[in-house]
């Protein structure tokens, strides 16, 4: 019998002044069939653990040592400035991205089986003079691929045709090429994940009532509809464009494997209402496996003991599930 290989998951701490460190410190690693490699600043973790009254006993990460399931180890990368919970500091923005770089590179090299990210604060990274629109886009630049952002809550899966854009920029960003790429990625990766040859994808229109035959906008007639016809001709079960205000009703969702929304705030409010705090952000279309929490840095909760770690736990479970599925024929 060949001994099973224990995977290592990289968990980045995210914004050090936010709740990412709290969630990681409160995490019980014992239920996970993986070694959890935490990337963050050791001094900050010790100070946060003291503030929260939590033990801190993570040994240093040693890549030469065999992985041990059900434990946390620390890959320490120091911050430039002392971390004050709840208080952002532009001097620490480069460290946040350095954590991502190290974890993503490790995943790309096969050192880590997957990446799980705690929340970052986009504003402070941009204030530091570093153009940053989000984890999804940043990781794609680092490791390649064509990312598709999808959130899951139970059996509900919502993917996005566009991600972090101003609303006024969305119509121009929805093109046949974008829809083809997103639908191809959803079809392929959902099929592999769910072991279904033709996952059923419901596609929202952009305009109210899906354009109402052109009276409320022509994007459905000129772009979305034709793109879906071409996708169906390629064997993709893409249904729509459907009015977004009724798409999320039980009648429509019955039997659906995913919903494709046209923009961030069309699909995610519904999903987060259905499962906030337990939902998971999954990035498809990358050469690495990446999941994340469904919430932000919650600066007001940092070091208070009131942060809830349900989404992080689900993100780890989802990452491990994807690792297992990827290794199963």
Domain spanning 147-284 has what CATH number? 3.40.718.10
Contact between 147 and 283 (Cβ < 8 Å): yes
Side-chain half-sphere of 128: how many Cα atoms within 13 Å? 18
The neighbouring-strand residues paired with 10 are: 37, 115
Q: At what angle do helices 176-194 and 225-233 cross, to 10 degrees?
A: 50
| Model pLDDT, residue 289 | 97
The neighbouring-strand residues paired with 87 are: 84
| Model pLDDT, residue 1 | 38
Tokens encoding 140: 């794609």
Q: Please write the tens of the pLDDT for every residue from 259-276.
A: 999 999 999 999 999 888
Q: Can you tell me the mean pLDDT for 97-111?
A: 98
Q: Please write the tens of the pLDDT for every residue from 38-69.
A: 999 999 999 999 999 999 999 999 999 999 99
User: Where do the structural domains in the chain lie, given as residue ranges?
Assistant: 1-145+286-329, 147-284
- Residue where the block lists tokens 């599925």: 325
Nearest partner of 90 among 142, 17, 141, 13, judged by Cα: 17
Report the CATH fold assignment for 1-145+286-329: Isopropylmalate Dehydrogenase (3.40.718)
pTM tops 0.75 = yes
**Phi and psi torsions of 80, nearest 5°:** -80, -30
Length of the chain, in residues: 329
- Give DSSP secondary structure letters for 13-59: --STTSSHHHHHHT---TTSSSEEEEEE-HHHHHHHHHHHT----PP
Residue 238 binned pLDDT confidence (cut-offs 50, 70, 90): very high
**Domains 1-145+286-329 and 147-284 agree in fold:** yes
The neighbouring-strand residues paired with 284 are: 148
Tokens encoding 147: 């990312």
pLDDT at 2 over 70: no
Contacts of 298 (CB under 8 A, 6+ apart): 18, 19, 119, 307
Element (H, E) at 158: strand 156-160
């Amino acid at each position: 019998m060949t001994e099973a290989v224990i995977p290592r998951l990289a968990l980045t701490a995210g914004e050090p002044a936010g709740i990412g460190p709290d969630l990681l410190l409160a995490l019980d690693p014992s239920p996970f069939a993986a070694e959890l490699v935490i990337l963050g600043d050791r001094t900050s973790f010790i100070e946060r653990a003291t503030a929260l009254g939590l033990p801190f006993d993570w040994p240093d990460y040693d890549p030469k040592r065999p992985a041990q399931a059900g434990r946390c180890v620390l890959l320490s990368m120091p911050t430039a400035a002392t971390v004050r919970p709840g208080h952002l500091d532009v001097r620490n923005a480069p460290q946040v991205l350095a954590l991502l770089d190290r974890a993503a590179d490790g995943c790309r090299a096969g050192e880590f089986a997957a990446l799980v990210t705690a929340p970052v604060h986009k504003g402070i990274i941009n204030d530091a003079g570093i153009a940053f629109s989000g984890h999804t886009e940043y990781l794609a630049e680092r490791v390649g691929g064509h990312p598709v952002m999808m959130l899951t809550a139970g059996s509900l899966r919502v993917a996005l045709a566009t991600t972090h854009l101003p609303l006024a920029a969305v119509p121009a960003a929805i093109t046949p090429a974008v829809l083809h790429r997103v639908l191809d990625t959803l079809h392929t990766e959902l099929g592999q994940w769910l072991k279904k040859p033709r996952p059923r994808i419901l596609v929202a229109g952009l305009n109210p009532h899906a354009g109402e035959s052109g009276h409320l906008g022509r994007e459905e007639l000129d772009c979305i509809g034709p793109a879906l016809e071409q996708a169906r001709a390629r064997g993709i079960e893409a249904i729509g464009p459907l009015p977004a205000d009724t798409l999320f009703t039980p009648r429509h969702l019955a039997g659906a494997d995913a919903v494709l929304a046209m923009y961030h705030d069309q699909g995610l409010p519904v999903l987060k209402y259905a499962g906030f705090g337990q939902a998971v952000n999954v990035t498809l279309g990358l050469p690495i496996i990446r999941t994340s929490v469904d919430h932000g840095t919650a600066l007001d909760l940092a070091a208070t003991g009131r942060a809830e770690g349900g989404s992080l736990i689900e993100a780890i479970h989802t990452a491990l599930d994807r690792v297992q599925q990827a290794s199963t024929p």
